[in-house]
């Protein structure tokens, strides 16, 4: 998407990044949906607005734990050069401070799922962290663990690494700060989600440096970066349904697609069900109507 007066820096699988001025960026969440690191040709209406709305909620909830890059998601609080594109940007845009991104995903896990479950079945560890024997898929861990990953280039997979690899790259002081912050943020968010009948199984945080201080950056605790389960449908030994794009993954897999570009077109029922699941996640977490976000 081209926006007159703003410099387009790059586009990821979901977000488009623009420069507003030397100190500020615009992060625009599109309705693109990807699976197996391939962007599919069919968008999910309002997905980008849900991601932005969920991030705003969590930045508000976590701002007393660590500073954030977010300035505002309200168009009337953004520069005029941004406001002139109101129709395209409303509800899906974060106006943020430019930060130096730290090149690691900071993953906190409270349950055994995803790539963690896959690794555990092989050698009883997750990213070098030894876990007790006999755990099942979706088992709750006695204590949440921190498992960093390298940030991959677009189209590649993030690579899980040990804490020691991260510490060697960043230094012990910064690495330990990121670990402690990630676990503290996860604990806060998990408790809030639990009050709303949702399990936050795991999530990944992205941090940056602003004037030498660590701040929370990018999106935070969205269904794209976190694994949310309905608490009443969780049971160890199963793969609980997620508040994310599971309908998309299931359909894409059912077509016999080889997981290379281009991906399959999505039928209307998959699009509708996926949109509804994202909106349900927002409304259950925030206890607010998504319609209210659309008219703010």
Check residue 155 and give its pLDDT.
47
Check residue 65 and give its pLDDT.
96
Q: Per residue, what are the HEC states of 283-294?
A: HHHHCCCHHHHH
Q: Are 50 and 226 in contact (CB under 8 A)?
A: no
**Closest C-alpha to 139, from 75, 229, 71, 225:** 229
Query: What's the whole-model pTM score?
Result: 0.94
Q: Domain residue spans in the chain?
A: 1-98, 101-233
Report pLDDT digits (tens) over 35-89: 988 999 999 999 999 999 999 999 999 999 999 999 999 999 999 999 999 999 9
Report pLDDT digits (tens) over 242-262: 998 888 988 999 999 999 999
Report pLDDT digits (tens) over 137-161: 999 999 999 999 997 655 456 788 9
Check residue 152 and give its pLDDT.
62
Averaged pLDDT of the chain: 94
Per CATH, domain 1-98 is 3.40.50.300: no
Pick the CATH number of 101-233 from 3.30.470.20, 3.40.50.10470, 3.40.50.720, 1.10.3720.10: 3.30.470.20
**Closest C-alpha to 203, from 65, 103, 68, 109:** 109
Q: Are 210 and 97 in contact (CB under 8 A)?
A: yes
Residue 172's alpha-carbon distances to 56, 176, 208, 211, 265, in angstroms, are 31, 6, 16, 20, 46
């Amino acid at each position: 998407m081209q926006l007159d007066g703003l410099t387009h820096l790059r586009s990821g699988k979901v977000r488009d990044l623009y420069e507003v001025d030397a100190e500020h960026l615009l992060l625009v969440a599109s309705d693109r949906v990807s699976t197996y690191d391939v962007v599919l040709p069919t968008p999910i209406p309002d997905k980008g607005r849900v991601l932005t709305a969920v991030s705003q909620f969590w930045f508000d909830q976590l701002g007393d734990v660590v500073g954030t890059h977010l300035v505002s998601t309200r168009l009337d609080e953004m520069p005029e050069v941004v406001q002139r594109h109101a129709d395209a940007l409303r509800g899906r845009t974060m106006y943020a401070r430019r930060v130096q991104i730290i090149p690691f995903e900071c993953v906190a896990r409270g349950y055994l799922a995803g790539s963690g479950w896959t690794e555990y079945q092989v050698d009883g560890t997750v990213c070098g962290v030894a876990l007790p024997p006999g755990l099942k898929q979706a088992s709750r861990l006695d204590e949440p663990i921190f498992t960093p990953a390298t940030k991959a280039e677009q189209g590649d997979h993030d690579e899980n690494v040990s804490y020691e690899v991260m510490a060697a790259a960043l230094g012990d002081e910064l690495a330990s700060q990121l670990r402690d912050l990630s676990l503290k943020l996860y604990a806060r968010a998990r408790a809030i989600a639990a009050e709303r009948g949702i399990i936050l199984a795991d999530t990944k945080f992205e941090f940056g440096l602003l004037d030498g201080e660590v701040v929370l950056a990018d999106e935070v605790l969205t269904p794209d970066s976190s694994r949310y389960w309905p608490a009443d449908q969780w049971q160890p030994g199963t793969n609980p349904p997620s508040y994310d794009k599971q309908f998309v993954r299931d359909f894409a897999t059912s077509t016999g697609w080889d997981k290379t570009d281009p991906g399959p077109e999505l039928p209307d029922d998959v699009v509708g069900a996926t949109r509804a699941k994202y909106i349900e996640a927002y409304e259950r977490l925030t206890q607010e109507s998504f319609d209210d976000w659309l008219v703010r």
